[in-house]
């Protein structure tokens, strides 16, 4: 089936540790995105990538890092510098967004700091 796969679904992190969330898509989309969701705050853009080996900061990039070495993969690392990382993280992808193409979402990953 075509779609976006995020893993793991649930992840627990100790303070001071880096963790990486995986996102893979088989939709042949050029663009990929990471959003963070907190209750009552909607979705906020962390990073996005329009093409392999290129990515841009979104609205809340501090404490996060990404890479885009392959078209189908866009992993997100939550570093120890992120002060409040507990949240629901959503990966998404689309073909050329400037044409108004639909952005498709994965099922999300819950990250909890313990």
Partner 1 sequence: AQSVTQLGSHVSVSEGALVLLRCNYSSSVPPYLFWYVQYPNQGLQLLLKYTTGATLVKGINGFEAEFKKSETSFHLTKPSAHMSDAAEYFCAVIIQGAQKLVFGQGTRLTINP
Binding site for partner 1 (CB under 8 A): 4, 31, 33, 35, 40-45, 48, 50, 56, 58, 90, 92, 97-100, 102-108, 110
Minimum separation from the CB atom of position 97 to partner 1 (A): 6
Minimum separation from the CB atom of position 67 to partner 1 (A): 19
73/80 with CB nearer partner 1: 73
58/63 with CB nearer partner 1: 58
Distances from the Cα of 18 to the Cαs of 3, 24, 66, 90, 111, in angstroms? 27, 20, 12, 18, 12
Give CA angle at 51 (92, 94), nearest 5°.
30
**Rg of the chain over CA atoms, in angstroms?**
13
85/106 with CB nearer partner 1: 106
Minimum separation from the CB atom of position 114 to partner 1 (A): 19
76/92 with CB nearer partner 1: 92
Beta-carbon count within 10 A of 15 CB: 8
Q: Residue 10 belongs to what H/E stretch?
A: strand 10-13
| Tokens representing residue 109 in the block | 């990953």
Minimum separation from the CB atom of position 39 to partner 1 (A): 9
């Amino acid at each position: 089936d075509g779609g976006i796969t995020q893993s793991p679904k649930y992840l627990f992190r100790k303070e001071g540790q880096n963790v990486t969330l995986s996102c893979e898509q088989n939709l042949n989309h050029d663009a990929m995105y990471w959003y963070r969701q907190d209750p009552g705050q909607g979705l906020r853009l962390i990073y996005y990538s329009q093409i392999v080996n290129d990515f841009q900061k979104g609205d809340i990039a501090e404490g996060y890092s990404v890479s885009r070495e392959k078209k189908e993969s866009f992993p997100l690392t939550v570093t120890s510098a992120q002060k409040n990382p507990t949240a629901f993280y959503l990966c998404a992808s689309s073909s050329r967004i400037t044409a108004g193409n639909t952005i498709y979402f994965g099922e999300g990953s819950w990250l909890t700091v313990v």
